[in-house]
Amino acid sequence: MHTPEQAAEALTSRLPDPQQLVPELGDVSAALFKAAGNGAVPRSTVGLAHLRAGQLVGNTYLTVLHTANLRRAEVPEEKITAVASWRDAPYFTEAERVALELVEAVLTPGTDGPRVPDELYARAEAQYDDKALATLAMAIGQVGFFIPLALIGRPLPGAAPAEQWRPAKTA
């Protein structure tokens, strides 16, 4: 159960719209979207990778955003729901599995050894050509670029883009 203060806090972001504060963000965002959406990797695979990244960093905004994007792309609901448990879910292609594993390798610190071991790279190389692998790396980087804004600024999950950034009113 939340206190009234916690409930009010949940309805506000910490920052006003970052693109209004730093207009260059629009150009960076457009370039990242173009790079990740160049067609070398299916848009649905990019979306699955983005959703997994949001889950890994424990951010509701990113998880809700990328879930909605996948639904709009008509990705089956079972597949979207199973992203968190993709390893034992029957809904993913081998290429999607490698993409999800790469997201986890990049975003989850390991205890020893390389984050992306040669064995994982070899499996990724078997599914994707060089352009697609570079694109997949950029797609992981695309969501990675926005993780700090999502965690620090706390935009509103599920709100329309014009309403995601609503700082609390000060008295």
Q: What pLDDT score does 112 carry?
A: 83
Q: What pLDDT score does 46 carry?
A: 97
Q: What is the mean pLDDT of residues 9-29?
A: 88
Distances (CA, A) of 108 to 56, 147, 164: 8, 14, 27
Q: How many CB atoms lie within 10 A of CB 23?
A: 9
pLDDT one-digit tens code per residue, 73-117: 999 999 999 999 999 999 999 999 999 999 999 999 877 889 999
Q: What pLDDT score does 11 carry?
A: 73
Q: What pLDDT score does 12 carry?
A: 83
Q: Take residue 71 and report the two structure tokens written for it.
A: 């639904």
- Residue 9 banded pLDDT, cuts 50, 70, 90: low
Helices (H), the chain: 4-10, 18-21, 24-36, 43-56, 60-72, 77-81, 94-107, 118-127, 130-148
Q: Take residue 116 and report the two structure tokens written for it.
A: 């992306």
Q: What pLDDT score does 8 carry?
A: 47
pTM score of the predicted model: 0.89
